[in-house]
Structure 1
């Protein structure tokens, strides 16, 4: 009896495999949707943002940072602050009586509100269109040969910075990004003589604070690739 039962099982398994084979082969393959990264919840984001532009014919850096909130994986908004990393010789005429050998440098800093729209991406990378609206102060600093320092009154400037940006997430909690755009500066009064408007290009380090918090709490490995492959 045991022999006959064993013999009957083998054909049933073979027939079952043949029946399942064509059905499995016919199952459609659904491609991964890269239209945007989906997240059902809001989460904080933070960026260290190094921008470069041409000011008075010289490539200069502008150091800054941004922090805000992301929701639905598609929209971001927040606040930021930037300042010129070093002085740049101005195009203005030095005041009468200025000692020979005096150096003059333009200084520029500004705060922004920003919005960003992610139009394509997946958990590893994305392409987005940030827009920044800002208000800043612009002044000239004089460095005298005897070590003395003086500066002009700060003038208020307004700016708009549309750009295109991309980033690649190395680990779950950190990514590297780059982009390019244009800075348009407006003034309510006298226009600045220095060339502040112009093309910008930037590099950034992006921290994903929610995942970084999980790493600090030991809930996630430091170099985790979970969900990124």
Structure 2
């Protein structure tokens, strides 16, 4: 009987001590999930390799993030540099005329976060846009002519990622391809090409929480 009671007491003590530890499971950091929606803004600068030249495109995106998994919204983009073309000049223009394309567009975007942790994220942004483009011709005497603006339709699938150095700042990069849809003009195909980008990302929401909570700015806490 004493042996039985002793064995039972040892089993109870072991179960009581091991129970809470067994019940505690490490948090799943393979995916970041938010319990609510939030508004997101992003200054989106990207580059394209077109006809042997690197062309910059500046944009601003605003949208909604759904539970840290899906982001949807709208963006507006302006071409910061002219795109050199390989298309033959119209016959009425004199030799030595410089030609380039310019365009701007608005786009609806969707971005799915494939894997996200407090430290890093990998996502698949895709944009579907509509805009206008025109050709600009600068003659040798300095006179400039522009063609009438025409509609363009754009599809831009890409892959993007970032890693946080601290909670409020990180480095990001990505790449993809810009494809003009429903092409009926040789000039439109001049705008097709790979896109790539690298950026410093500021997470203003986390920065606000750090400042408000008087936490250390250069800390790895939360990562």
CA deviations over 1:36-63 (Å, ceiling 9, x no partner): 2111122222222222222123332222
Which structure 2 segments of 5+ residues have no match? Answer: 1-9
* 1:6 matched residue in structure 2: none
Looking at structure 2, the residues matched to 132 and 111 of structure 1 have their Cα atoms a distance apart, in angstroms, of 9
* 1:11 matched residue in structure 2: none
**CA drift at 1:209:** 3.8
* 1:7 matched residue in structure 2: none
Residue-pair matches, total: 212
Alignment TM-score, normalising by the size of structure 2: 0.79
* 2:197 matched residue in structure 1: 202
| 8 Å contact from structure 1 (residues 163, 182) kept in 2 | yes
Residue of 135, 156, 161 corresponding to 1:140? 135
* Structure possessing the higher radius of gyration over alpha carbons: 1
- CA-atom RMSD in angstroms: 3.0
| 8 Å contact from structure 2 (residues 180, 188) kept in 1 | no
**CA drift at 1:25:** 11
* 2:157 matched residue in structure 1: 162
Give secondary structure in 2 for the equivalent of 1:211.
Answer: helix
* 1:4 matched residue in structure 2: none
* 2:112 matched residue in structure 1: 117
Of stretches 26-35 and 112-121 in structure 1, the one that deviates more from structure 2 is 26-35
**CA drift at 1:195:** 2.5
**CA drift at 1:112:** 0.8
Residue of 108, 129, 139 corresponding to 2:103? 108
Higher relative CO (Cα under 8 Å, sequence separation at least 6) belongs to 1
Q: Structure 1 residues 96, 26: closer, same or farther in 2, change over 3 A?
A: closer
Is 2:46 the partner of 1:51? yes
**CA drift at 1:78:** 1.1
Which structure 1 segments of 5+ residues have no match? Answer: 1-14
Give secondary structure in 2 for the equivalent of 1:192.
Answer: helix
Is 2:93 the partner of 1:94? no
Residue of 177, 187, 190 corresponding to 1:182? 177
Give secondary structure in 1 for the equivalent of 2:185.
Answer: coil
Of stretches 39-48 and 95-104 in structure 1, the one that deviates more from structure 2 is 95-104
Q: Structure 1 residues 73, 31: closer, same or farther in 2, change over 3 A?
A: same
Of stretches 28-37 and 135-144 in structure 1, the one that deviates more from structure 2 is 28-37
